[in-house]
Amino acid sequence: MVISHLIKKQTYFDSVTLMLIGSQVKKLPGIDSTVVGMCTDYNIDSLKRLDMYQSAFDSLTPNDLIICIKAADKQTADAGIAEVEKRLASRKQTSGSAELPPSSQEEAASRLPEANMVVISVPGEYAAREAEQALNNGRHVMLFSDNVSIEEELRLKTLGVSKELLVMGPDCGTAIINGTPLAFANAVRSGNIGVVAASGTGLQEVTSTIHRLGGGITQAIGVGGRDLSEKIGGKMTLLATRALAEDPATKVIIMLSKPPAESVLKTLYAELKNVGKKIVIYFIGADPKAIEAQGFIAAHNLEDAAIKACDLSTGKKHNSEMSEEQIKAVAASSKMTGKHLRGLYSGGTLCDEAQRLLQPVIGEISSNTPIKGCKEMPDVYKSTGHCIIDLGDDNFTRGKAHPMIDPAYRAERMLQEIADPDAGLIIFDVVLGYGSHLDMAGEMVAAIEEGRKKSGRKPLLAACICGTREDPQNYAQQQKILEDAGIKVFPTNVAMVSFARHCLERNK
Amino acid sequence: MLKDFFGKKVKVINLGIASFAEDLRKQGVETIHTDWRPPAGGNKKIQALLDRVASWQSKVKSAKGAR
Amino acid sequence: MLIDIQQANANAIAAIQASQPVLKGIGTALEVVPGMKKNLILHAGPPITWEKMSGPLRGAVIGALIYEGLAKTPEEAEKLAATDKIEYSPWHEHDGVGPMAGVGTATMPVWILEDQKSGRKTFCTLNEGLGKVLRYGAYSEEVITRLKWMETVLAPVLKAAIPLAPEINLKNMIAQALQMGDEVHNRNKAATSLLIRELAPAIVKTSFPEADKARVLEFMHSNDHFFLNLSMPAAKMMLQAAEWIEGSTIVTTMCRNGTEFGIRIAGLKDRWFTGQAQIVKGLLFPGFSEEDCNPDIGDSAITETCGLGGFSMAAAPAIVKFVGGTVNDAMNFTRKMYEITDGESQAFQIPNMEFRGSPLGINLLKVCEKNLLPQINTGIAHKKAGVGQVGAGLVNPPLKCFEDALEAYVEKYCKDE
């Protein structure tokens, strides 16, 4: 093995761009490992771990870019470096005009003073400062960054509430504001349903389903996973809810979250009772009866939340896109090739939903993000028994882009599951929309076909597509690619999980 | 009031992941992408000093505005 | 304190832009330079003691002491230099500037510039030429002889000629030179030509021996950098207009003494912020290597401070032959500097950037915020006294200067934050 490297001093690219390029170049023949990243402590550790650290890196700072490639021989390694450079150069061009882009929020603001929203996806340790600056300048904040402390979150949201400005996050991946999809979001028509959500893919699934059922939204406001914790006290949830209550365009409100902290629940219910509009609540894993006892409409799952909201929005009854009978029929004509289920999810909330719906049926499920009643996987890189995995979780995304952007690891894992005789049914989500990979179905099918060829196995496969026909990906084409590969395709996670349940029951 | 923001055209300053800005531009949303890099080269001490200056200036500008 | 930094800086830049440096004449240092004394040696860069001086500066001090008649031999001069009989002070604290070692003493002739706006004056010695010269630390008989010639022939001829010539507004001359491929730090060929053109008829009209007048013209002509000793005090004149505007974070001085780099900030009156002078990276003349190089030296970074030199590299693509790189690199160096300046020069326009004004008014806060240092384009001296120039290239100030200045600024203005 030979290691080649190239250092570009004072050259900054965002981490996603670098990881994607590294991931793409790694696929080239003869290349063993790539590290393309800023010289941060984290990347230095990675380099050392991979035995790729060079003494030339000693004098570098986090403002310097490292391209390091390990390959079979020098020619290949050098070619890899050249390829990375080529891709970096073309990235700079596409973003360029004759003028250099601004390098700070302040500069950007002086060039676009009418900006009213700042989307922040910089490293967590800098995110709060940028968010504060945005709020002080009267701008709403979409805080995609994670690794923001809860103390910082409290400070930001207190500031945001005092100025009636949104602080969506931290770790907020999805929002649709005034019809504009932000970060990972689907193209959803406008209508009269407002959504407040502490979950990214949950918001994507609900809004996409609303669209497919013919409904539309006013706002889809992400509040970040910790908003309804005791410390934060639901500050953004309350601000958003009050605004939707007063918004003449909003007729129905959906609230999506993990069950809020007890201390917050009281205030929240009191506030919601003053709203004066119909509210559908889905506290994931909570007892629907407790919610109904408060006088609200409780949803049983994400699909149900969308259906109930559409019902209230139009006064007409909506049905699931696939009925239970239809799902049963597909299950009846399907056969698991082994004892166990494997779930390879890119969306965390969808992974949770699958665990929740299947746990009563199949007993022992393990996950890297187990819900109550499910077990922790002893080794997240090796599935045993029934296993439902969130590939977007931290342990899989260190140094790699999220699976919704870069399918490489999920595709690799798919190969592994297909080769496992114990994996009789493999389910996975295909999340469309802005921010997501443009051909996730194609990437997964390529891996599936390779897996089948290599192992000679053909486990039963099912996928759900979270998206709409207006999304940048071609929904119909994505569906066809999956179906042509012999994968059973479902419109929602709930439908796919229901299919899985029927198959597992038949397999007992 | 927050509700007064509903219905307005969203105009975005993007800090960080470039593809977010590209997607917004594709939809015709007025967006400016920032070639963001850690302030003060990642030096927290300098960052803190700059924050004190910014904080002071914020107060000065408010006081002047109030006149 | 209710000071709006943006406003203070805007005022500073406006004052800089309003300055009109004009060539007034020539005088003897002891007579015209404020605070000059017989035993005072003025030098480039921030304050320094004999012990800390690098080779070229030491050599220049030795040469100056011999020239002034205060020592008869280099050995005597060295001994004397180390005593408190000889005082040292930065040119900057005496309204002047000096290139490379920049040594100025009582008997030396100096250019006198005057600001038409305020009447202020700035000063600089006359450029000796290239090779074995005092400013590179040479102190041989040849050097002393040349200095004497400059004192007794060059200076008087020019002194008599200047009033006979049309008034020379140096800001305008620099602006023209910028549009002819100069950046008036490392490239002064066009400006030197323009100067000679303005002065030649007047020189002819003076009543000195023909041979002297011819020699004066030949002397100026043989030195492509003759104008540097005018571009520097002109820049100094302009920047001084911003000293010492309360609360302003505009950098008014960048200079080096061969050991340390020093900066000063408009809102921090009289205070020096120093750090280690860096090694210049560029192209070395054949036969020299990086080990031969002296650290960065000279007051010539005053040009960059005023939007010229490295900041106007886009106007002088020929520079890239010295600093290595492409014409596009030269353009990009200028482009980058807009990120750390608050304004753009009205007078100094860059033709191949659609006549955009060069980046003017380095803002300390922006340098720190963006971790982006001013770009200086400069000559490299051999570290041994008297060897001369060994190359040219690019260098930055040490970040420490700006970090220290920021700390002092916050200490002075933001105590309560």
Q: Which candidate from C5, C399, C414 shows the least CB-CB separation from B52?
A: C414
What was the pLDDT predicted at C399?
96
> How close A153 gets to chain B, by Cα (Å)?
18
* Nearest residue, CB atoms, A100 vs list C335, C369, C371: C335
Of A206 and B3, the one with more pLDDT: A206
pLDDT for C416: 78
- Answer yes or no: do A100 and C369 touch at CB < 8 A: no
Helix, strand, coil shares, percent, chain A, to 5: 40, 20, 35
Q: Which of B40, B42, B56 sits opposite C414 (nearest CB)?
A: B56
Query: A436 and A404 in contact (C-beta within 8 Å)?
Result: yes
Does an H or E element contain B55, and which? helix B44-66
For A164-215, how does the pLDDT look when each residue is reduced to its tens digit (9 = 90+)? 999 999 999 999 999 999 999 999 999 999 999 998 899 999 999 999 999 9
Q: Do B63 and C4 touch (CB under 8 A)?
A: no
User: Per-residue pLDDT for C119 more than 80?
Assistant: yes
Backbone Cα Rg of chain C:
20
Q: Is B51 left (phi over 0), alpha (psi -120 to 50) or beta?
A: alpha
User: What is the ipTM metric for this complex?
Assistant: 0.89
- Do the beta carbons of residue A158 and residue A187 sit within 8 Å? no
Say whether A479 sits in a helix, a strand or coil.
helix
Contact A457, A419 (CB under 8 A): yes
Q: Is the pLDDT of residue C199 over 60?
A: yes
| φ, ψ for residue A381, nearest 5 deg | -90, 0
Partners of A342 in beta bridges:
A387, A426
Angstrom distance (rounded) from CA A152 to CA A129: 9
d(CA C71, CA C82) in angstroms, rounded, equals 13
Which tens digits make up the pLDDT trace of C77-103?
A: 999 999 999 999 999 999 999 999 999
High-pLDDT (> 90) share of chain C, %: 88
Is A432 within 8 Å of A443 (Cβ atoms)?
no
CA gap A301, A307 in Å, rounded: 10
- The answer to whether A368 and A413 have CB atoms below 8 angstroms apart is no
Within 8 A by CB and 6+ apart from C105, the residues are C29, C40, C41, C42, C64, C67, C68
Contacts of residue C125, defined as CB under 8 A and 6 or more positions apart, other chains included, come to C29, C98, C102, C104, C108, C109, C110, C111, C229
Contact criterion met (CB < 8 Å) for B50 and C406: yes
Q: Which residues of A touch C (CB under 8 A)?
A: 63, 100, 103-104, 107
Give the DSSP letter string of C196-263: HHHHHHHHHHS-S-HHHHHHHHHHHHT-TTTTHHHHHHHHHHHHHTTTT-TT--BEEEEEEESSEEEE
Tokens (6 digits) for A155: 């400070």
Contacts of A63 in chain C (CB under 8 A): 371
Predicted confidence (pLDDT) per residue in C38-75, tens digit: 999 999 999 999 999 999 999 999 999 999 999 999 99
Q: What's residue C284's pLDDT?
A: 86
Give me the pLDDT at residue C359, please.
97
- Confirm if A159 and A135 have CB atoms less than 8 A apart: yes
Strands A140-143 and A117-120: parallel
Structure tokens at C66: 């011999």
Bridge-partner residues for C23, per DSSP?
C113
| Mean residue pLDDT across chain C | 95
Residue type, B26: K
Q: What is the 3-state secondary structure (H, E, C) of chain C?
A: CCCCHHHHHHHHHHHHHHCCEEEEEEEEHHHHCCCCCCCEEEECCCCCCHHHCCHHHHHHHHHHHHHCCCCCCHHHHHHHHCCCCCEEEEHHHHCECCCCCCCECCCCEEEEEEECCCCCEEEEECCCCCCCCHHHCCCCHHHHHHHHHHHHHHHHHHHHHHHHCCCCEHHHHHHHHHCCCCCCCCCCHHHHHHHHHHHHHHHHHCCCCHHHHHHHHHHHHCCCCCCHHHHHHHHHHHHHCCCCCCCCCEEEEEEEECCEEEEEECCCCCCCEEEECCCCEEEECCCCCHHHECCCEECCCHHHHCCCHHHHHHHCHHHHHHHCCCHHHHHHHHHHHCCCEEEEEEEEEEHHHCCEEEEEEEEHHHHHHHCCCCCEEEEEEECCCCCCEEEEEEECCCHHHHHHHHHHHHHHHCCCC
Residues of chain B found within 8 Å of residue C367, distances taken between Cβ atoms: none
**Kind of pairing, strands A297-298 and A375-376?**
unpaired
**pLDDT for position A361:** 87
Query: From the CA of C380, how many Å to the nearest CA of chain A?
Result: 23
Average pLDDT estimate for C343-372: 94
In which element (H, E) is residue C362 found?
strand C356-362
Chain A, window 67-106: residues with a beta carbon less than 8 angstroms from a chain B beta carbon: 91, 94-95, 100-105
CA A251, CA A181: separation in Å to the nearest integer? Answer: 21
Binding-face residues of A in 365-424 toward B, CB within 8 A? 405
CA distance A248 to C180: 65
Using a CB-CB cut-off of 8 Å, the residues of chain C touching A103 are: 339, 370
Using alpha carbons only, how large is chain A's radius of gyration in Å? 23
What amino acid is encoded at A82 in this protein? A
Q: Which residue of A has its CA nearest to C332?
A: A100
Residues 6+ apart with CB under 8 A from C171: C19, C20, C21, C234, C238, C347
pLDDT tens string for chain A (508 positions)? 999 999 988 777 777 788 888 888 988 999 999 999 988 888 888 899 889 999 999 988 877 899 999 999 999 999 999 999 998 877 655 443 446 788 889 889 988 999 999 999 998 889 999 999 999 899 999 999 988 999 999 999 999 999 999 999 999 999 999 999 999 999 999 999 999 999 889 999 999 999 999 999 999 999 999 999 999 999 999 999 999 999 999 999 999 998 899 899 999 999 999 999 999 999 988 899 999 999 899 999 999 999 999 999 999 999 999 999 999 999 999 999 999 999 999 999 999 999 999 999 887 999 999 998 999 999 999 999 999 999 999 888 877 788 998 899 999 999 999 999 999 999 999 999 999 999 999 999 999 999 999 999 999 999 999 999 999 999 999 999 999 999 999 999 999 999 999 999 988 8
State whether B52 and C369 contact (CB < 8 Å).
no
Beta strands at C273-276 and C109-115: parallel, antiparallel or unpaired: unpaired
Q: Which residues of A touch C338 (CB under 8 A)?
A: 100
Asked if B28 is an interface residue toward chain A (Cβ–Cβ < 8 A), one would say no
Token pair 């000559």 in the structure block, residue: C379
Whether a cis peptide bond, with omega within 30° of 0, leads into A288 is no
Rounded to the nearest angstrom, the gap between the alpha carbon of residue A52 and the centroid of all alpha carbons in its chain is: 31
How far is the C-alpha of A502 from the C-alpha of A151, rounded, in Å? 45
Contact (Cβ atoms closer than 8 angstroms) between residue A426 and residue A459 = yes
Instruction: Using DSSP, state whether A400 is helix, strand or coil.
Output: coil
Token couple for C30: 């002891």
Which residues of chain A does C336 touch, with a Cβ-Cβ cutoff of 8 Å?
A: 100
Q: Chain B contact for A243, CB < 8 A?
A: yes
Query: With contacts defined as CB-CB under 8 Å, which chain C residues touch B43?
Result: 371, 403
Q: Tell me whether strands A180-183 and A252-257 are parallel, antiparallel or unpaired.
A: unpaired
pLDDT at C417 exceeding the cut of 80: no
User: Can you say how many angstroms the Cα of residue C195 is from the centroid of all Cα atoms in its chain?
Assistant: 18
Contact A65, A5 (CB under 8 A): no
Tens digits of residue pLDDT in C261-279: 999 999 999 999 999 999 9
* Strand blocks (E) in B1-67: 12-15, 31-34
| pLDDT recorded at residue C67 | 98
Q: Which residue, A223, A169, A173, is CA-closest to A195? A: A223
Question: Would you state the pLDDT for residue A97?
Answer: 40
pLDDT, mean of residues C168-175:
96
- The helix (H) or strand (E) run that includes residue C71 is none
- pLDDT on residue C329: 84
DSSP-assigned states of every residue in A155-199: HHHHHHHHTT--EE-SS--EEEETTEEEESB----EEEEEEEES-
Q: Cβ of C321: how many Cβ atoms within 10 Å?
A: 10
Residue of B nearest to C5 (CA): B57
The whole-number pLDDT of residue C318 equals 82
Comparing CA positions, the residue from C377, B4, B19 lying closest to residue A14 is B19
- CA closest to C402 among chain B residues: B46
Q: What is the pLDDT of residue C206?
A: 97
pLDDT of residue A99: 63
Nearest-CA distance C374 → chain B (Å): 15
**What pLDDT is stored for residue A162 in this prediction?**
96
Alpha-helical (H) ranges within C226-372 are 228-240, 302-305, 320-323, 327-337, 364-370
CA A121/CA A126 separation, integer angstroms: 10
Residue A102 three-state SS: coil
Q: pLDDT grade, residue C327 (50/70/90)?
A: confident
Task: Please name which of A432, A443, A412 lies closest in space to residue A476, comparing C-alpha atoms.
Answer: A432
Task: Tell me the chain C residues in contact with residue B52 when contact means C-beta distances shorter than 8 Å.
Answer: 410, 414, 417
Q: What tokens were used for C303? A: 């040009």
Q: How far apart are CA A490 and CA A10, in angstroms?
A: 48
- Burial of A333-347, coded b for 16+ CB within 10 Å and e otherwise, reads ebebbbebbbbbbbb
Of the candidates C335, C338, C370, the beta carbon closest to that of A104 is on C370
Residue A423 three-state SS: strand
Out of B2, B24, B35, closest to residue A12 by CB: B35
